Amino acid sequence: MRSTKHLILLAAILIFLSSCGSRKFSKNNKQIEKAANKANNNSYKSYNTLSYIDEFKGVAVEEMNANGIPASITLAQGILESGSGNSDLAKYANNHFGIKCTSDWRGKNYFRDDDQKNDCFRVYKDARESFRDHSEFLKRKRYSFLFQLDKNDYKSWAQGLKTAGYATNPKYPDLLINTIEKYQLYQYDQSESEKQKIAREDRVFTEINQNIPQEKAKFTPVDTPPPGAKPILADGTYTVVKGDTLYNIAKRFNLTVDQLKMLNEMTTDAIKLGQVLKVK
């Protein structure tokens, strides 16, 4: 009897702590959203994919010339990760690539369900900072072989990102390549001379080597609350749990919302607890 009471008490404490944690994350997000609304005069620029490309092609080209990542790859990843700049993360946190908090992150945080419930994401002062951090995120040992590629070889970059484990979705390279070719993003990629390539590689590999001792702190997401999502099943389906949205499910499996809806023959964004969705 006593043991039963202890279990009930423990369960009540856990529920209380969970509730407190959820309120804390919600309060934090409201503060971030309030600041973002103030900075944007309560009027966010709404993008379609073409206007998103026009807005951010310049910074993608800058990052390509500095680091060697094809501008087409950066733009395609931004389109897929941020819903062409219309996701909450992009609007409120200026985070276009879903980059999470790490132990060395000293900026503000924004919480969203992703791999786990209330995952911590970085808040940037502007989108340009997000694009720059995306380049820094790739400058580590596991992706180092990609920087030996030509900076206009988007197909090899797309395949290489999958090989390096950037995404779990086996169709991720196809998603990137299809997006690049649909919107002709390859027009922003530029070739480089052998001399320019060697100089760029020397600079980038020096930075990658300097990062290696600090990679755990620089690139490993911080611990977050216990998992709130079940893993993908062997048959390629996912079961909806509390806190899920169509957007975060699509992002988790490297799909767009439209692709997820198409896979499941859905006409609305509505989902319900226990619903089984095809994700591949």
DSSP 8-class letter at 1:
-
**Residue 112 forms beta bridges with which residues?**
119
| Residue 43 pLDDT exceeds 70 | yes
pTM of model > 0.85: no
pLDDT of 123 > 50? The answer is yes
Q: What is the DSSP letter of 79?
A: H
pLDDT of residue 79: 95
Helices 71-82 + 49-67 axis angle, to 10: 140
**DSSP secondary structure code for residue 121 in this structure:** E
Statement: residue 19 has pLDDT above 60: no
Mean pLDDT, all residues of the chain: 84
- Among 3.40.50.720, 3.10.350.10, 3.40.50.1100, 3.40.190.10, name the CATH number for the domain at 237-278: 3.10.350.10
Q: Which residue has the higher pLDDT, 275 or 135?
A: 135
| pLDDT per residue as tens digits for the range 142-158 | 999 999 999 999 999 99
Give the sign of the dihedral formed by CA 219, CA 138, CA 100, CA 225.
negative
Ranking 125-134, 164-173, 246-255 by mean pLDDT, the lowest is 246-255
What are the pLDDT digits (tens) for 96-116? 999 998 887 888 889 888 777
Q: 218-250, pLDDT tens digit by residue? A: 777 765 543 444 444 556 788 887 777 787 788
| Confidence (pLDDT) at 196 | 94
| C-alpha–C-alpha distance, residues 211 and 217, integer Å | 10
Residue 31 has pLDDT above 60, yes or no: yes
Given a cut of 60, is residue 15 above it in pLDDT? no
- Which of 82-91, 180-189, 190-199 reaches the highest mean pLDDT? 180-189
Is residue 128 over pLDDT 70? yes
> Where are the domains positioned within the chain?
24-214, 237-278
What's the CATH number of domain 24-214, 1.10.530.10, 3.30.450.20, 3.40.50.10470, 1.10.1740.10? Answer: 1.10.530.10
pLDDT, tens only, 187-211: 999 999 999 999 999 999 999 999 8
Q: How far is residue 100 from each of residues 108, 133, 172, measured CA to CA in Å?
A: 11, 11, 20
